[in-house]
Amino acid sequence: MLSVRQISKTLPSFTLRDVSFEVQPGQYFVLLGASGVGKSVLFEIIAGLTCPDAGRILLDGRDITDEKIQQRKIGLVFQNSALFPHMTVYDNIAYPLRCKKLRNYQIHERVVELAEDFAITALLKRRPQTLSGGESQRVSLARAVASEPRCLLLDEPISSLDVKSRPQMRALLRRINAQGRAVLHITHDYTEAASLGTHIGVMEGGTIAQVGTVEEVFQRPKSEFIARFVGIRNFFEGQLAKPESDQTDTRRFRTGDLVFWVLSDNPGESGYVMIRSEDITICNSASRTSARNNFEGRIVDIAPAGPGVEVIVDIGVEVATLITAESVKKLELDCGKKVWISFKASAVKFVEG
């Protein structure tokens, strides 16, 4: 278990203050935050590349705050893979094994085994410069796993990949996590967090603003900042059905008793859908529009939210909508009133999870 306790660090540009969270074995913990909030500095502190001004870091109960990088047993994967350009893929993966002074046949067996696991057998003789972004990150992961770390620390491992490589990489990360290894993944992308994380810590202004399961953070953000940063209040888990015909990408997504229409070509089946609250419209009665999703519900809450008003409508699940104060007045909206909400299938974003 990785335990980060009250870490503080003052740098000329910003300050980290009392950052605390824990990553349990088998958890996939995503540290989510906008650029410049100190995620990378925290990454360096946990990895041992930078010293904190205060606070402790424990791994499996052992204080590793002052321990050397090479003794921490934390595997690092950087945003732009830090593969050694003067070595082949084979030598890159063998590097941590050679550091352990294993015998050549043991190194060979382990490299071959990892190469099969990470689907990079065909790349073993190649140089890192000849690999695509996705291939490089797979090799980086294989190399990090070869060092048999207690915890994997990933700094934006997917951000630099092209859209096609991302699902493969996500599947690989899920598989590594499923083997029981704790993963701490740092990112600014909430879709990555939703897709991969079991738990999320949101960083704001150099500190941890909220820690919780993915559902807790997305559905019940503790502050306006988090609500605005994650951008999604409507976040539902469920199953995505296959398209009903070859001519359409519109598919049914079932969450509890509700069914949403989703426009998606994602091959996945189970996961989450997200609907931005500003993409949902409210009417006093059912009306014919191009929107595929129309639900009747009852208003349970109306609250000012920054430049607009947030209206929570219960349609079987609570759905947050963001409308103007003028619309609230014009439609005479009030708690308990029955209304219709509608949103387009293209406004529903499916994330495989």
Partner 1 sequence: MTSSPGIRTEPLVLLFAVLGGAVLLFVVAPLVSMCLQCSLPELVETARDDEVQSSIWLTLWTSMTATVIFAIAAIPFAYLLARKDFPLKGLVAGIIDLPIVIPHSAAGIALLGIVSRNGLLGGAAAKMGLRFVGTSAGIMAAMAFVSVPFLVNSARDGFGAVPVRLEKAALSLGASPLRVFLTISVPLAARSIVSGFILMWARGMSEFGAVLIIAYHPMITPVLIYERFGAFGLKYARPVAVLFISVCLVFFIILRFLAAEKENAQR
Distance of alpha carbon 207 from alpha carbon 135, whole angstroms: 34
- Give Cα separations from 39 to 35, 45, 153, 186 (angstroms): 8, 10, 12, 7
Q: Which is nearer to partner 1, 49 or 171 (CB)?
A: 49
Q: How far is the CB of 102 from partner 1 (least distance, A)?
A: 11
Q: Which is nearer to partner 1, 73 or 337 (CB)?
A: 73
Q: Which is nearer to partner 1, 77 or 280 (CB)?
A: 77
**Residue 340 CA to its chain's centroid (Å):** 32
- Which residues of this protein are in contact with partner 1, per CB under 8 A? 47-49, 68-70, 72, 74-76, 78, 80, 82, 84-86, 95-96, 99-100, 127, 129, 143-144, 146-147
Q: How far is the CB of 164 from partner 1 (least distance, A)?
A: 26
Distance of alpha carbon 196 from alpha carbon 183, whole angstroms: 10
Q: How far is the CB of 70 from partner 1 (least distance, A)?
A: 5
Distance of alpha carbon 168 from alpha carbon 157, whole angstroms: 12
- Rounded to a whole number of angstroms, the CA Rg of the chain reads 23
Q: Which is nearer to partner 1, 93 or 193 (CB)?
A: 93
Q: Which is nearer to partner 1, 21 or 43 (CB)?
A: 43
Q: What angle do CA 226, 21, 171 make, to 5 degrees?
A: 75
Q: Which is nearer to partner 1, 98 or 298 (CB)?
A: 98
Q: How far is the CB of 226 from partner 1 (least distance, A)?
A: 31
Mode of pairing for the β-strands spanning 151-155 and 182-187: parallel
Q: How far is the CB of 95 from partner 1 (least distance, A)?
A: 6
Q: Say which residues have a Cβ less than 8 Å from residue 195's Cβ, sequence separation at least 6.
A: 170, 271, 272, 351, 352, 353
Q: Which is nearer to partner 1, 49 or 51 (CB)?
A: 49
**Residue 29 CA to its chain's centroid (Å):** 8
Q: How far is the CB of 208 from partner 1 (least distance, A)?
A: 24
DSSP calls for 161-186: S-TTHHHHHHHHHHHHHHTT-EEEEE
Q: How far is the CB of 144 from partner 1 (least distance, A)?
A: 8
Neighbours of 162 (CB within 10 A): 9
